[in-house]
Amino acid sequence: SGSMWLYRWYYSNACQRALNFTIFLILALAFIETPSSFTRTADVRYRSLRWEPPCGLTEAVEGLCLLVFMADVTVKCYLVGRAQFQKNVWLLAYITVLAVSVVDWTVSLGLLCQEPLRVRRLLRPFFLLQNSSMMKKTLKCIRWSLPEMASVGLLLLIHLCLFTVLGVLLFTGEVQDEQQRKERLTYFRDLLEAFTSLLVLLTTANNPDVMMPAYSKNRAYAIFFIVFTLIGSLFLMNLLTAIIYNQFRGYLMKSLQTSLFRRRLGIRAAYEVLCSMTGAGAPQAVGVMPQDFLQVLQKAQLGSSHKQAIMQKVRSFDETLLSADEFQKVFREVDRGVIIEHPPRPWYPSPFLQSAQFLVGHHYFDYLGNLIALGNLVSICVFLVLDEDVEPRDRDDFVLEVLNCAFVLYYLLELLLKVFALGLQGYLSYPSNLFDGLLTSVLLVLEVATLAVYRFPHRGWKPEARGLLSMWDMTRLVNMLIVLRFLRIIPSMKLVAVAASTILVLIRNLRAFGGILVVVYYVFAILGINLFRGTIVAPGNSSLALTNGSVHCGSFEQLEYWANNFDDFAAALITLWNVMVVNNWQVFLDAYRRYAGRWSQIYFVSWWLVSSVIWVNLFLALLLENFLHRWDPRSHEQPLSGTHV
Amino acid sequence: SGSMWLYRWYYSNACQRALNFTIFLILALAFIETPSSFTRTADVRYRSLRWEPPCGLTEAVEGLCLLVFMADVTVKCYLVGRAQFQKNVWLLAYITVLAVSVVDWTVSLGLLCQEPLRVRRLLRPFFLLQNSSMMKKTLKCIRWSLPEMASVGLLLLIHLCLFTVLGVLLFTGEVQDEQQRKERLTYFRDLLEAFTSLLVLLTTANNPDVMMPAYSKNRAYAIFFIVFTLIGSLFLMNLLTAIIYNQFRGYLMKSLQTSLFRRRLGIRAAYEVLCSMTGAGAPQAVGVMPQDFLQVLQKAQLGSSHKQAIMQKVRSFDETLLSADEFQKVFREVDRGVIIEHPPRPWYPSPFLQSAQFLVGHHYFDYLGNLIALGNLVSICVFLVLDEDVEPRDRDDFVLEVLNCAFVLYYLLELLLKVFALGLQGYLSYPSNLFDGLLTSVLLVLEVATLAVYRFPHRGWKPEARGLLSMWDMTRLVNMLIVLRFLRIIPSMKLVAVAASTILVLIRNLRAFGGILVVVYYVFAILGINLFRGTIVAPGNSSLALTNGSVHCGSFEQLEYWANNFDDFAAALITLWNVMVVNNWQVFLDAYRRYAGRWSQIYFVSWWLVSSVIWVNLFLALLLENFLHRWDPRSHEQPLSGTHV
């Protein structure tokens, strides 16, 4: 019973939340540790000296986190038991990672934080990974699809190599022409250069450029590039998507089924236990006494609405014993979606108030509100168009400010009327009202603050900046909030609302994938910091960087990508994002090859493979899976067929 | 029986092929008509004066084509019958299009080909469309998914508009800084400009650039752009993919099922007819006489191997009547895949020849051939690497030429040995051998020609160019063919071979989609020629084009995209392809806005919507459908369940 207590305590909400917070904390340390991300900009030209945490600060937090993890691993080992423990690879890896981290932490403290390499920073994402069963499952799924992906990858490699050799042979003929010479010198100078050009063309990031010099010479050369893109980008890359989707198809379904199966098994076990307790005296009448059931139910952790529904059902059995089948059926309630019941509207005695309540409660009133919000948006747009050539300091905001005041007053009125019609409880039970009300109150506070600081608006009203925000910034903030408030119209359009709700459901289901993305980003960012920290040097400070006059178009320097570096964690994340989006990534390849060396291309290409090829396809696969599951009419008729135990 | 004869004649292979050729011919006219595509390059700077066909040449061909179509439509109307004819929208449209084309053609001849607009060129793709039932079906499928796509499109539009207003509000604060000013002036000058910037960002074509100035000022601004891309590019765009896939899921399956159903129905009808013919005398024994069956079968159009198999089956029934069930079963043979039987190997009396035959026929001999091909590829690569800094005219090709001669001799030996081992018939029955043999003979001819013209190679061997191709071009051509010959290794790697064969099957299934792509490209190219012909003017000839010194980086002029114009049909196709690939399409938007006016953006954005958004997603959907159908283990167990009549 001691271990039972430990088990319950360990899987209690509070304990799990504490563990999650610890994981979040140790991951967030990367922003604070040397090199910290606390500068206004990441641009090497304008970056101020960064604040560095004193030695021991982050290490103390990290030490605490590691202590929590040690407690966690001890409890887990105890709960799993010796026999299971030796088979559990994840648990063994957890202990190893923890040991390495502690050793590295000790070394770090011993060297007074001057150590050149921190291995434990690379290992941190493991703590996130091992704590989520969904992420482990997803990893397994990815591992299963690796062989098929490797086959397409090999095909892709053959495709690339063949076209590289063909391209080099094609574009190194007798140089009769300036254009052909240019093609050769820019994109097909040697095999490696040609391979890189075509690899980038596979992502279409240098599409018209790479074909332009040759195509300008002769139309027929375009065929080479179009055939390459057709086979590579359209066929082979999409085949990768298909393979990943094939692996993940039914993934959601399967995981739903297994969790349902486990629950059914648990219910059946509970029935057997309760049965043996009551049925000891009368062996011929097998079943569960409703009173026993209710007693147990009181202590069980369940959503209150579900608990209420189950209790009501059980009470209807009176004194008769529940059979196994009935026992299972009672728990079907848990599978049902929760229907939020809105509290009843307040009743007003006066007929005038009653009709007012009817008017406000009618959905035409909502439409009116939407129309007013649209009007407000249009008025802001009109002023933006009118003022577009005027410098911000010369703008006369009198009319706009008066209009905004009027609109905010209307929003306030709408809020009050709705509270009057639905009651405060009823008003808050709608999420859309919550969103509306929150924004309206923030808007009200901002407007009142503006009026308090800058007085009533009048013509030619150009107050100086006072306090935290200038008048102009206040207005801008108000306007932005109004624009956001306009989102309330989405639920009014049925098809759009369905699409929007699909996305919201998707985001909830995507946590495991988000976790894997965090892990991948974290590892690559830390790696990038270790490899490339300080390689990008501000122009003028470096002999490598060309002077401003001679930079050629399309280079890192001309495009002023100075902020895309690996000098701290936040900057590294943004740089990785920009490479993941793939557009213009050849600029990064080129710049880091010049600044850091040719080997840096391996880092960027592997990041492209992991993020853009695997992760984006994974995302698409999950989106398709979720979407088809949701919109498929069959899935609603028999939501989880074949899982009824 | 006259109409029966007409029906058979109309649907005969010869007649249908003639019709298809006519369609191809009328579509291909676009390359020849004024402005013809017969120039070496499409680049406005280097383009020579184009050859223009004399008035009446293309018109005569077109007139002949129109006559064929008129005959076609008459036969179709007669075969369909009056009742069906009035309901058949496609047929009515066919007649209308034909009438308009004829009128336009007459006007064109009347004005001696000087007419400003040719409506019939826009209408030509209709002839392709109406001739393919698959394409009509696909169009119907697209039309069904339009409402759902419109809902996501609306969501996308709201997303774009909100972020446009937010962006303009965000980046027009008090100008404290050069960077923020730059962001405002470059990408967020006014609402329309901001909308365009964000629309381009939705396709990620200006990804790091658009965020750089603001991000250089403050890290936090990156969040605005990342959130925009996340919602727009990852969620909403992929939702479009999911919607289209959802609509096309089971599309292939359904079309297979209906064609199978029709065939079964036809077989059943044939049974009934044959039954009534034989069963007239003996009503108690209902069935088909095998002799009657065989007689009918002789005249039926069927693949010869299938016919053989069915005949064999029918003969096994001897004189007993075939019941309906047996009759159906006999036709199952048609569903079976054709197994190509290789002819038996020739038999040689001498034991030495027999063992030689065994050695050459063994698959290790194929591996040896692959190895040699790989060695040849490696030798070419080695020489490319060695010679990469040498100008082509200074290269010494002696060793490479000798090596190539040796390799080609080996290939010839391999070919002869295989013919010896398998017999000529047996050798040709493998498609891989066909591919090999063809390339080997071409290589042999080239080598012999080289030796005949330039004599045997020796050190310092640098012959002058003689005849059609220079020595160097000959070598290049040989090398390229050798590289292509290397593709024979693909079938040796099992997983790669599966992926490759999936793609080959896919290409066969994609004809309908290819047809729709042709239609879309054709219509947009003709539109583009009418709208933008001559707007791009070579630098120096135009007052609009900036002089070479002052072009700014990333502009149409600096990138030298001069060949991307709409001055003739072939050039228009390549330009549309480059916009479809999406990368750098903002350059086109910007250039055509400057040269032709703001309205040109509508053309490019609608092309982006049609090609990149709808067609590429359609392609992905079909690829997924085909792929899952092929790799799904269930689809092999019961290939077409539920369709057995």
| A392 and B CB contact within 8 Å | yes
Which chain B residues in 546-565 lie under 8 Å from chain A, judged by CB atoms?
A: 553-554, 558-564
Task: Please tell me the distance from the alpha carbon of residue B574 to that of residue B41, in angstroms, as a whole number.
Answer: 12
| B367 and A CB contact within 8 Å | no
Task: Please tell me the distance from the alpha carbon of residue A156 to that of residue B481, in angstroms, as a whole number.
Answer: 20
Domain B139-248 sits in CATH at 1.10.287.70
The torsion of the CA quartet B138, B140, B141, B143, rounded to 10 degrees, works out to 130
Q: Using the beta-carbon criterion (under 8 Å), do A191 and B392 form an inter-chain contact?
A: no
- The answer to whether residues B220 and B166 touch, using CB atoms and an 8 Å cutoff, is no
DSSP one-letter code for A492: G
Q: Assign domain B506-637 to its CATH architecture.
A: Orthogonal Bundle (1.10)
Three-state DSSP class for residue A16? helix
Task: State the amino acid at position A185 in one-letter form.
Answer: L
* pLDDT tens string A28-41: 999 988 888 888 88
Q: How many CB atoms lie within 10 A of CB B14?
A: 8
* Residue A635 confidence (pLDDT) above 60: no
Q: How many CB atoms lie within 10 A of CB B582?
A: 21
Task: Identify any residues that bridge with A288 across adjacent strands, giving them in sequence order.
Answer: A322
- A52: buried, middle or exposed (CB in 10 Å: 19+, 13-18, 0-12)? middle
Task: Give residue A170's pLDDT.
Answer: 82
Task: Identify any residues that bridge with B322 across adjacent strands, giving them in sequence order.
Answer: B288
Three-state DSSP class for residue A322? strand
B19 Cβ contact list (under 8 Å, min separation 6): B68, B72, B131
Q: Using the beta-carbon criterion (under 8 Å), do B498 and A170 form an inter-chain contact?
A: no
Give the ipTM: 0.87
Task: Please tell me the distance from the alpha carbon of residue A197 to that of residue B504, in angstroms, as a whole number.
Answer: 26
Cα B247 versus chain centre, distance: 22
| A483 and B CB contact within 8 Å | yes
Task: Give residue A460's pLDDT.
Answer: 58
Q: What is the mean pLDDT of residues A461-472?
A: 57
Q: Using the beta-carbon criterion (under 8 Å), do B46 and A502 form an inter-chain contact?
A: no
pLDDT band at A643 (very low <50, low <70, confident <90, very high): very low
pLDDT band at A229 (very low <50, low <70, confident <90, very high): very high
Task: Please tell me the distance from the alpha carbon of residue A423 to that of residue B226, in angstroms, as a whole number.
Answer: 40
- The answer to whether residues A234 and B622 touch, using CB atoms and an 8 Å cutoff, is no
Closest CB to B43 among A189, A191, A216: A216
Q: Which residue has the tokens 């290794």?
A: B489
Helix (DSSP H) and strand (DSSP E) numbers for chain B: 30, 0
Three-class HEC string of A467-482:
CCCCHHHHHHHHHHHH
Task: Please tell me the distance from the alpha carbon of residue B291 to that of residue B314, in angstroms, as a whole number.
Answer: 9
Task: Give residue A541's pLDDT.
Answer: 55
Window from A202-216, A255-269, A591-605, B97-111 with minimum mean pLDDT: A255-269
- Which secondary-structure segment (H or E) carries A494? helix A494-509
| Domain spanning A146-248: CATH 1.10.287.70 | yes
Task: Please tell me the distance from the alpha carbon of residue B399 to that of residue B383, in angstroms, as a whole number.
Answer: 9
Contacts of B175 in chain A (CB under 8 A): 391-392
Q: Using the beta-carbon criterion (under 8 Å), do B472 and A174 form an inter-chain contact?
A: yes
- The answer to whether residues B218 and A40 touch, using CB atoms and an 8 Å cutoff, is yes
Three-state DSSP class for residue B408? helix
Q: Using the beta-carbon criterion (under 8 Å), do B191 and A487 form an inter-chain contact?
A: no
Task: Give residue A605's pLDDT.
Answer: 92
Q: Tell which wins on pLDDT, A263 or A106.
A: A106
Task: State the amino acid at position B464 in one-letter form.
Answer: E
Task: Please tell me the distance from the alpha carbon of residue A500 to that of residue A492, in angstroms, as a whole number.
Answer: 12
Q: Using the beta-carbon criterion (under 8 Å), do A208 and B584 form an inter-chain contact?
A: yes
Task: Identify any residues that bridge with A322 across adjacent strands, giving them in sequence order.
Answer: A288
pLDDT band at A127 (very low <50, low <70, confident <90, very high): very high
Question: Which of B50, B214, B32, B16 lies closest to B131 in space, CA to CA?
Answer: B16
* pLDDT tens string A474-525: 777 777 777 777 787 777 777 777 777 877 877 877 787 888 889 999 999 9
Triad A448, A450, A451: Cα angle to 5°: 65
Task: Please tell me the distance from the alpha carbon of residue B378 to that of residue B384, in angstroms, as a whole number.
Answer: 10
* pLDDT tens string A305-336: 777 777 777 777 777 777 777 777 777 766 66
- The answer to whether residues B127 and B62 touch, using CB atoms and an 8 Å cutoff, is no
DSSP one-letter code for B280: T
Q: Please tell me which residue of chain A has the smallest CA distance to B555.
A: A553
Which chain A residues in 295-334 lie under 8 Å from chain B, judged by CB atoms?
A: none
Task: Give residue A175's pLDDT.
Answer: 56
For chain B, the 3-state helix, strand and coil shares in percent, each to the nearest 5, are: 75, 0, 25
Which chain A residues in 485-524 lie under 8 Å from chain B, judged by CB atoms?
A: 486-487, 490, 493, 495-496, 498-500, 502-503, 506
Q: Using the beta-carbon criterion (under 8 Å), do A168 and B503 form an inter-chain contact?
A: no
Task: Give residue B252's pLDDT.
Answer: 64
| B476 and A CB contact within 8 Å | yes
- B642: buried, middle or exposed (CB in 10 Å: 19+, 13-18, 0-12)? exposed
* Residue A640 confidence (pLDDT) above 70: no
Percent of chain A with pLDDT over 90: 15
| B170 and A CB contact within 8 Å | yes
- CA distances (Å), origin A545, targets A161, A415, B179: 32, 59, 21
- DSSP state letters, B613-643: IIIHHHHHHHHHHHHHHHH-HHHHHSTTTT-
- Outline where B510-584 has alpha helix (H): 511-532, 569-580
Structure tokens at B503: 């793609």
pLDDT band at A641 (very low <50, low <70, confident <90, very high): very low
Task: Please tell me the distance from the alpha carbon of residue A509 to that of residue A251, in angstroms, as a whole number.
Answer: 12
Interface test with chain B among A577, A589, A604, A625, by most B beta carbons within 10 Å: A577
Task: Please tell me the distance from the alpha carbon of residue A31 to that of residue A38, in angstroms, as a whole number.
Answer: 8
DSSP one-letter code for B536: S
Same fold, A351-492 and A506-637: no
Delimit the domains of chain B by residue range: 2-131, 139-248, 252-335, 351-492, 506-637
Considering only CA atoms, give the Rg of chain A.
32
Residue ranges of chain B with pLDDT lower than 70?
173-180, 183, 251-253, 277-286, 301, 303, 333-340, 390-397, 455-473, 540-550, 631-645
- The answer to whether residues A340 and A430 touch, using CB atoms and an 8 Å cutoff, is no
Task: Give residue B178's pLDDT.
Answer: 65
Task: Give residue A545's pLDDT.
Answer: 44
Q: Using the beta-carbon criterion (under 8 Å), do A632 and B229 form an inter-chain contact?
A: no
| A79 and B CB contact within 8 Å | no
Min Cα–Cα distance to chain B from A626, Å = 9
- The answer to whether residues A96 and A154 touch, using CB atoms and an 8 Å cutoff, is no
Structure tokens at A476: 């801008």
Task: Give residue B344's pLDDT.
Answer: 79
Task: Please tell me the distance from the alpha carbon of residue B305 to that of residue B302, in angstroms, as a whole number.
Answer: 8
Q: Using the beta-carbon criterion (under 8 Å), do B41 and A218 form an inter-chain contact?
A: yes
Contacts of A393 in chain B (CB under 8 A): 174
| Domain spanning B351-492: CATH 1.20.120 | yes
B192 Cβ contact list (under 8 Å, min separation 6): none
pLDDT band at A638 (very low <50, low <70, confident <90, very high): very low
A568 Cβ contact list (under 8 Å, min separation 6): A35, A36, A37, A39, A42, A50, A529
| Sign for the pseudo-dihedral over CA of A407, A412, A418, A421 | negative
Interface test with chain B among A46, A144, A238, A374, by most B beta carbons within 10 Å: A238
Q: Which residue has the tokens 């592997």?
A: A606
| B225 and A CB contact within 8 Å | no
Task: Please tell me the distance from the alpha carbon of residue B250 to that of residue B626, in angstroms, as a whole number.
Answer: 10
Task: Give residue A98's pLDDT.
Answer: 93
Query: Phi, psi at residue B217, to the nearest 5°?
Result: -75, -45
Task: Please tell me the distance from the alpha carbon of residue A556 to that of residue A579, in angstroms, as a whole number.
Answer: 13
Contacts of A553 in chain B (CB under 8 A): 553-554, 558-559
Interface test with chain B among A48, A187, A215, by most B beta carbons within 10 Å: A215
- A54: buried, middle or exposed (CB in 10 Å: 19+, 13-18, 0-12)? exposed
| B141 and A CB contact within 8 Å | no
